[in-house]
Amino acid sequence: MATRYWVVSLPVQNSATSLWNRLQEQISKHSFDTPLYRFNVPNLRVGTLDSLLSLSDDLQKSNSFVEGVSHKIRRQIEELERVSGVESNALTVDGVPVDSYLTRFVWDEAKYPTMSPLRETVDSIHSQVSKIEDDLKVRVAEYNNVRSQLNAINRKQSGSLAVRDLSNLVKPEDIITSEHLVTLLAVVPKYSQKDWLASYETLTSYVVPRSSKKLFEDNEYALYTVTLFGRVADNFRTAAREKGFQIRDFEHSLEAQESRKQELEKLIEDQGSLRSSLLQWCYNSYGEVFSAWMHFCAVRVFTESILRYGLPPSFLACVLAPSVKSEKKVRSILEGLCDTANSTYWKTEDEVGGGVAGLAGDADSHPYVSFTINLV
């Protein structure tokens, strides 16, 4: 599947069919690796020249917006598929792969009546895509919120002893709590353990001798208990902090442990269901946005062709997917099929910065309408 297509229109002098046949023949002879398709643009409502000119000013900006939303949804899909470990699905529009939808485009009259003013059709596409983008932001924020809560819990479970949850490292029998005695938990830098063992009994009075026991050690810290009289606990904390030992607040509670476990399970479940519903929504919305984008491209090629070639509308619209090495060849074939007078007129206008020079939608100008569709 190509990821970059050109939408072009050529002016028809006599018959669209003979022009199409000549184009097919030239492409197959000189650039056979370039897929070529008719782009079926219906007979839309022209309106006034002023309305077309004013619309053409907005077409490129609107195109960037619609294209941007389609890329945003596609990137979201790729990220969700990656973290879910699911196999990438081919993106579709109403069950049709997107490249087939583009190359066999059919205008949806029920959704976008061809008799509506072009501005109305463009505004309708813009507001539909804006609504989808707003919806995407809300859904992604909801999913990311659950994800960040889970990440915070995981950091607590797997972080260093200075921050992690200690409940699964400390057993009830490690803690002494009586009328006068308390057990504190000290987080000691790994390379200061000798210092701790040599000094903890003298950090304050009323520390129970030889009461410190190592419970756990990670790459940076070791976790020790120490038992002392409750009334000197604050003094002990202060003295320990001055020597670089951290006393962690801890209360052993089976209820709290169970509640944390349930919270974690619920978050994991929520993340899974939010992820799969977001992915499903993205698949559907990508199809909607892509369909809106192709209708927009049809309006764009119609508008630019009339402004370029005049009335009545008489042009052949095509979609091509040239490889990078074939681009120059295809450009010269397209140029060769343009009316010579039109071609000369166009170049002259371009040289003097004339009227519609910006309409091509490509950085370099051509004597025919041309713009690029990037699927990714």
What's the whole-number mean pLDDT along residues 88-106?
90
When mean pLDDT is compared over 53-62, 123-132, 338-347, the highest value belongs to: 123-132
What's the whole-number mean pLDDT along residues 31-54?
90
Sorted by where each starts, the structural domains of the chain and their CATH numbers stand as 4-148+270-374 (1.20.1460.10), 172-251 (3.30.70.100)
- Sequence-distant (6+) residues with CB within 8 A of 93 are 101, 287, 288, 290, 291
Cα–Cα distances in angstroms (integers) from residue 300 to residues 158, 197, 306, in the given order? 55, 78, 10
What's the whole-number mean pLDDT along residues 146-167?
80
Q: What pLDDT digit, counting tens, does each position of 293-340 carry?
A: 999 999 999 999 999 999 888 999 999 999 999 999 999 999 999 864
Instruction: State the Cα–Cα distance between residues 285 and 84, nearest whole angstrom.
Output: 19
Query: Which carries the bigger pLDDT value, residue 260 or residue 107?
Result: 107
Is the bond leading into 312 cis (omega within 30 degrees of zero)? yes
What's the whole-number mean pLDDT along residues 145-167?
81
Instruction: State the Cα–Cα distance between residues 334 and 313, nearest whole angstrom.
Output: 19
So what's the pLDDT on residue 339? 61
Q: Look at the alpha carbons of 196, 202, 208, 210 in this order and tell me if their dihedral is positive or negative.
A: positive
Q: Which residues, in sequence order, are bridge partners of residue 5?
A: 373
Cβ-count burial of 181 within 10 angstroms (0-12 exposed, 13-18 middle, 19+ buried)?
A: middle
Query: Which carries the bigger pLDDT value, residue 99 or residue 343?
Result: 99
Percent of the chain with pLDDT over 90: 65
If we measure between CA atoms, which residue out of 94, 220, 96 comes closest to residue 158?
Answer: 220
